[in-house]
Structure 1
Amino acid sequence: DPANKPASNYWEPAKKYLLSDPKLLQNLIDYDKDNIDPKVIAKAREYTDNPDFDPLKIKKASRAAHGMCCWVGAMVQYDKVAKVVAPKRLALAEAQKEYQGVMRRLREKQSELETVENRVVGLAQQLEQCRERKKDLEDQVAECQTKLDRAERLISGLSEEKERWTEQKTAARSALSNVVGNVLVCSAAVAYLGAFTVTYRREIMLSWIQLTVSHNIPCCKSDEISLVQTLGAPVEIRKWKIQGLPIDDFSVENA
Structure 2
Amino acid sequence: KKKVMADTNVFLDRLLNYDKENMKESTVEKMQPYIKDKNFRPEQVKQVSSALVGLCQWVIAIEKFYRVNKVVKPKKETLGIADAEFNAAMADLNVKKAELKAVDDRLALLQQTLDESNTKKQNLEDEFSNTEKKLTRATKLMAGLGGEKSRYTMQSESLGEVYSRILGDVVLSAGMIAYLGPFTSNYRQELTEGWQSLCKKDNIPGSERYVMANFMGDPVK
TM-score (norm 2): 0.60
Equivalent residues in 2 for 1:80-159, closer than 5 Å: 80-157=67-144
Name the CA distance, whole Å, in 2 between partners of 1:236 and 1:121: 85
Paired residue for 2:63? 76
* Deviating more after overlay: 32-41 vs 63-72: 63-72
Q: Which residue of 2 aligns with 1:51?
A: 38
- From the superposition, tell whether residues 98 and 30 of structure 1 become closer, same or farther in structure 2 (CA, over 3 Å): same
Amino acid at match of 1:148: L
Alignment of 1:31 with 2:8, yes or no, is no
Mapped partners of 2:73, 2:210: distance in 1: 131
Q: How does 1:6-21 map to 2 (within 5 A)?
A: 14=1, 16-21=2-7
Letter matched to residue 110 of structure 2 = L
Corresponding position of 1:207: none
Q: 1:46-96 deviations in whole A, cap 9, x for unaligned?
A: 331233332322332334544433322221111112112212322332333
Shift of 1:161: 6.7
Verify: 1:242 aligned to 2:216, yes or no: no
RMSD value, Cα? 3.6
Structure 2: unaligned runs, 5 residues or longer: 159-206
Change (3 A) 1:234 1:121: farther
Amino acid at match of 2:29: A
Q: Answer with 1 or 2: which has the greater Rg.
A: 1
Cα deviation 1:179-233 (Å, max 9, x = unaligned): xxxxxxxxxxxxxxxxxxxxxxxxxxxxxxxxxxxxxxxxxxxxxxxxxxx8457
Gaps of 5+ in 1: 1-13, 173-229, 245-255
Identity of aligned residues (%): 31
Distance 1:124 1:106 in 2: 26
Tell me how far apart the structure 2 counterparts of residues 48 and 243 of structure 1 sit (CA, whole Å): 148
Structure 1 residues 143 and 112: alpha-carbon distance in aligned structure 2, compared to 1, 3 A threshold: same
Q: Which amino acid aligns with 2:49?
A: S
Equivalent AA in structure 2 for residue 237 of structure 1: N
How far, CA to CA, are the matches of 1:96 and 1:57 in structure 2?
45
- Alpha-carbon distance in structure 1 between the residues aligned to 2:45 and 2:140: 126
Which one-letter code corresponds to 1:140 in the other structure? E
Farther off after superposition, 35-44 or 83-92: 83-92
Q: CA deviation at 1:154?
A: 4.2
Structure 1 residues 231, 66: closer, same or farther in 2, change over 3 A? Answer: same
